[in-house]
């Protein structure tokens, strides 16, 4: 995927004793032997072609709405993994209009992009921030991630089918098999990059839409996952209103991406 995973943490202990050292040496020799015999990653052309076809179709859609039911693992300080549920609703008019409503067990955020300004609003806190961004969705989201510390869920679907897709970073690509998601016949693919594994279920037919995504962060020992199941609407037509933010009278504007801004931290 195109976004960096959490920083790598490796916590191991070493017991220094004659017998322990001997066991460790034997283990290291065995590990080296197993590594030498491990097959090289395979980038199956079928899987890469399916990913490219999906991206091309996504970029061909002038307008669409998509709803995602999500689960997200987070790792506590003691290493325990906990899971949170949520939903994401996008309204999109390509190439330069976007509205996103993001709800989880803990937060509610709304994002409005009108081709020039990206606004983030926290309805419960009555706080919002806005920043000038580039005039295309993919460029706006890239700047938001790089400069404003804002990464929207499922942002990768706006990079697929563009030079920013990250396809060159894929180390392994595999066709897993046939599957069904939400009553839709799909092909299931698995991909591996340097720090993440991810899977996508792509609908059969003339509309190769992603129907399910699973992202696994391998850098974390507990390997937390983000899972989303998608429902698409490619027929709706949107005017300007969904993409314009009008601040409620009791809302307060704060600097976006400020270190002490509740909009960015809660």
Q: What is the pLDDT of residues 58-111, one digit of tens each?
A: 999 999 999 999 999 999 999 899 999 999 999 999 999 999 999 998 899 999
Residue 1 in this model has a pLDDT that exceeds 70: no
Q: Is residue 109 part of a domain?
A: yes
CB 193 within 8 A of CB 1: yes
State the pLDDT at residue 10. Answer: 28
Cis peptide before 95 (omega within 30 of 0): yes
pLDDT at 25: 38
Asked whether residue 17 is domain-assigned, the answer is no
Distance (Å, rounded) from C-alpha 68 to C-alpha 60?
20
Residue 62: inside a domain: yes
The whole-angstrom separation of Cα 61 and Cα 162 is: 14
The whole-number pLDDT of residue 41 equals 81
Which of 64, 51, 56 is closest to 166 using CA atoms?
51
Whether 197 is in a domain gets the answer yes
Q: Residue 33: inside a domain, yes or no? A: no
- This prediction's pTM: 0.81
Q: What is the pLDDT of residue 62?
A: 97
Q: What is the mean pLDDT of residues 169-195?
A: 97
- Tell me which residue range forms the domain holding 194: 45-265
Residue 84 lies in a domain: yes
Question: Could you read off the pLDDT of 229-257 as tens digits, one per residue?
Answer: 999 999 999 999 999 999 999 999 999 85
In this predicted model, what pLDDT tens digit does every residue of 74-88 receive, in sequence order?
Answer: 999 998 999 999 999
CATH label of the domain that carries residue 55: 2.50.20.10
Could you tell me if residue 169 is inside a domain? Answer: yes
pLDDT score, position 18? 30
Q: How many domains does the chain have?
A: 1
Average pLDDT of the chain to the nearest whole number: 85
**32 falls within a domain:** no
């Amino acid at each position: 995927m195109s976004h960096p995973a959490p920083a790598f943490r490796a916590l191991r202990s070493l017991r220094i004793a004659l017998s322990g050292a001997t066991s460790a040496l034997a283990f290291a020799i065995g590990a080296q032997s197993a590594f030498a015999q491990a097959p090289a990653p395979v980038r199956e052309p079928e899987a890469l072609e399916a990913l490219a076809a999906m991206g091309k179709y996504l970029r061909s859609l002038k307008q669409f709405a998509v709803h995602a039911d999500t689960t997200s693992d987070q790792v506590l300080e003691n290493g325990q993994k906990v899971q949170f549920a949520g939903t994401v609703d996008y309204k999109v008019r390509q190439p330069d209009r976007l509205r996103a409503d993001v709800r989880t067990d803990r937060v509610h955020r709304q994002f409005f992009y009108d081709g020039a300004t990206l606004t983030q609003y926290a309805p419960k806190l009555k706080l919002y921030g806005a920043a000038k961004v580039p005039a295309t969705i993919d460029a706006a989201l890239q700047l938001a991630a790089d400069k404003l510390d804002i990464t929207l869920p499922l942002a990768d679907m706006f990079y697929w089918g563009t030079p920013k897709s990250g396809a060159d970073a894929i180390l392994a690509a595999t066709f897993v098999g046939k599957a069904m998601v939400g009553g839709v016949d799909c092909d299931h693919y698995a991909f591996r990059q340097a720090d993440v594994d991810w899977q996508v279920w792509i609908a059969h037919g003339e509309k190769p839409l992603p129907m399910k995504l699973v992202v696994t962060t391998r850098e974390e020992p507990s390997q937390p996952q983000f899972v989303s199941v998608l429902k698409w609407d490619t027929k709706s037509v949107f005017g300007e209103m969904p993409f314009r933010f009008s601040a409620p009278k009791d809302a307060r504007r704060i600097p976006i991406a400020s270190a002490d801004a509740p909009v960015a931290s809660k």
